């Protein structure tokens, strides 16, 4: 195995072709020798530089800096490192270099040995660093401004939410108060119209009293819905008082009453199975009344409205079906939300859009729920499921 070392260029070649400019001067700056690299960088022939003073190659600012800073440092500490200087190229343009220098004592006296490095790549790197820093600072300012704006927006949003919550709570309380206070005069109107209807009346008077009674009934239903809505929205929920209930018999009795209220419709009752359910009778009657009223409002009254009571998988199910037009999919998504109506057209049986919302809330208060299926040519069916225990089939 060969142990010979590879031959190196001679000292002269290493000096002339070094990757930096090399200059040897006297203490007064007179150039004694420079390499090819330095000559190429400043555009002067190496022989033309001999005898010139190094400081004469500098710009005016460089000469001042040489006289006041790095020349005294060379005298005092014998070296300087990474001094940035601007030199004048033969073509009169400026060339920026970094200077490292040492003062050495030789037999012939003291000499300055200078090494100079081009700064083009370094300057480019520094500019990129400065640009990157500026971009980072700009982004940081934008981020800080965005965070401040977000905090302000959040504060404003919280304030707006609190205000809207207070307004909503106040409105719901007002609805509850007004609805409650309307009960008494409406009850008086209803009683007075019933008393007047018992006496002998002309057909016109009887018709007017009938309108008064129907309007009072409608107003009472609306007030009941508004009260339940207000209770549900303020967080108290719809109150129930469940008890054992013969489901089919109760539904049948409720439908008999509804036939009087909705004489223009044909109401049918179908039942399957038998047993008692643990439900609030008044609330269940309210469910049936709201669903039947909805069917009367939107269904085809030329065909019957069918109310079904049955037992399905230990659940008591009440379903109301009508042959009205299909409900659009977009409306199905929000049908049980408050203030939702299938049409803007008014009639004696349509309300403020709380009926189906109340149905859902009553079902949920019992631990159940409500669903709807609407198909073209088949009609619409609302089904309310109540969980029961100990069902008899």
Topology, domain 11-118: Beta-Lactamase (3.30.450)
Burial class (CB in 10 A: 0-12, 13-18, 19+), 118: middle
Q: Does residue 354 have a pLDDT over 80?
A: no
Domain extent listing, the chain: 11-118, 125-233, 243-387
Q: What class has domain 243-387?
A: alpha beta
* Separation of alpha carbons 19 and 65, rounded Å: 25
The confidence score (pLDDT) of residue 331 equals: 87
The confidence score (pLDDT) of residue 51 equals: 93
The confidence score (pLDDT) of residue 10 equals: 84
**Which residues have a Cβ under 8 Å from the Cβ of 84 and sit 6 or more positions away?**
96, 97, 98, 99, 119
Q: How confident is the model at residue 58 (pLDDT cuts 50, 70, 90)?
A: very high
Q: What does pLDDT average to over the chain?
A: 82
The confidence score (pLDDT) of residue 256 equals: 87
Are 185 and 169 in contact, with CB atoms under 8 Å apart? no
Q: What does each C-alpha distance from 358 to 86, 153, 193, 237 come to in angstroms?
A: 88, 36, 29, 10
The confidence score (pLDDT) of residue 391 equals: 41
The confidence score (pLDDT) of residue 390 equals: 42
Q: Taking residues 200-219, what's their average pLDDT?
A: 73
HSE value, Cβ hemisphere, 13 Å, CA-based, for 385:
11
Q: Does residue 389 have a pLDDT over 60?
A: no
Q: How confident is the model at residue 231 (pLDDT cuts 50, 70, 90)?
A: low
Least confident among 94-108, 223-237, 371-385: 223-237
Q: Does residue 223 have a pLDDT over 50?
A: yes
The confidence score (pLDDT) of residue 292 equals: 92
**Higher-pLDDT residue of 273, 31:** 31
Tens digit of pLDDT for each residue in 118-139?
A: 887 776 777 777 887 888 888 8
Q: Does residue 350 have a pLDDT over 50?
A: no
Highest mean pLDDT among 196-210, 259-273, 333-347: 259-273
Highest mean pLDDT among 120-124, 284-288, 351-355, 386-390: 284-288
Helices (H), 30-119: 36-42, 46-49, 60-65, 71-77
Least confident among 1-5, 20-24, 294-298: 1-5
Least confident among 188-197, 253-262, 290-299: 188-197
Q: Does residue 43 have a pLDDT over 60?
A: yes
Q: Does residue 209 have a pLDDT over 90?
A: no
Percent of the chain exceeding pLDDT 90 equals: 28
pTM beyond 0.85: the answer is: no
β-strands 305-311, 267-272: how paired?
A: parallel
**Which residues have a Cβ under 8 Å from the Cβ of 43 and sit 6 or more positions away?**
89, 90, 91
Q: What class has domain 125-233?
A: mainly alpha
Tens digit of pLDDT for each residue in 155-190?
A: 988 888 887 777 666 666 666 666 556 666 767 776
Q: How confident is the model at residue 345 (pLDDT cuts 50, 70, 90)?
A: very low
Least confident among 235-239, 254-258, 281-285: 235-239
The confidence score (pLDDT) of residue 388 equals: 75
**Higher-pLDDT residue of 274, 371:** 371
Least confident among 142-151, 224-233, 255-264, 357-366: 224-233
* Separation of alpha carbons 119 and 98, rounded Å: 7
Q: Taking residues 303-326, what's their average pLDDT?
A: 91
Tens digit of pLDDT for each residue in 74-119?
A: 889 999 998 888 999 999 999 999 999 999 988 878 899 999 998 8
> Tokens in use for 156?
């404003």
Q: How confident is the model at residue 392 (pLDDT cuts 50, 70, 90)?
A: very low
């Amino acid at each position: 195995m060969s142990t010979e070392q590879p031959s190196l260029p001679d000292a002269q070649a290493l000096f002339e072709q070094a990757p930096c400019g090399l200059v040897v001067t006297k203490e007064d700056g007179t150039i004694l020798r420079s390499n090819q690299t330095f000559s190429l960088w400043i555009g002067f022939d190496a022989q033309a530089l001999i005898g010139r003073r190094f400081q004469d190659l500098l710009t005016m600012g460089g000469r001042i800096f040489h006289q006041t800073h790095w020349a005294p440092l060379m005298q005092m500490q014998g070296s300087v490192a990474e001094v940035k200087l601007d030199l004048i190229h033969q073509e009169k343009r400026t060339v920026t270099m970094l200077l490292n220098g040492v003062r050495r004592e030789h037999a012939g006296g003291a000499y300055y040995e200078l090494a100079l490095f081009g700064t083009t790549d370094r300057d480019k790197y520094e500019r990129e660093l400065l640009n990157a820093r500026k971009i980072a600072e700009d982004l940081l300012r934008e981020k800080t401004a965005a965070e401040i704006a977000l905090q302000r927006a959040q504060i404003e949003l919280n304030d707006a939410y609190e205000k809207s919550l207070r307004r909503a709570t106040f409105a719901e309380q007002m609805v509850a108060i007004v609805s409650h206070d309307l009960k008494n005069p409406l009850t008086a109107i209803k009683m007075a119209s019933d008393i007047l209807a018992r006496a002998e009346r002309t057909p016109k008077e009887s018709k007017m009293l009938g309108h008064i009674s129907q309007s009072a009934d409608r107003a009472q239903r609306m007030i009941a819905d508004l009260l339940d809505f207000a209770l549900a929205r303020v967080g108290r929920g719809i109150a129930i008082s469940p008890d054992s209930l013969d489901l089919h018999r109760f539904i049948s009795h409720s439908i008999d009453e509804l036939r009087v209220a909705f004489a223009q419709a044909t109401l049918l009752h179908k039942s399957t199975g038998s047993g008692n359910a643990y439900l609030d009778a008044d609330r269940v009657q309210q469910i049936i009344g709201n669903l039947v009223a909805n069917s009367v409002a939107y269904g085809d009254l030329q065909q019957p409205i069918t109310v079904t009571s049955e037992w399905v998988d230990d659940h008591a199910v009440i379903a109301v079906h009508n042959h009205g037009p299909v409900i659009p999919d977009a409306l199905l998504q929000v049908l049980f939300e408050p203030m939702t109506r299938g049409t803007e057209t008014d009639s004696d049986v349509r309300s403020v859009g709380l009926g189906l919302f109340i149905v859902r809330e009553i079902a949920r208060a019992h631990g159940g729920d409500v669903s709807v299926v609407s198909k073209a040519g088949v009609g619409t069916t609302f089904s309310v499921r109540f969980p029961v225990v100990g069902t008899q089939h």
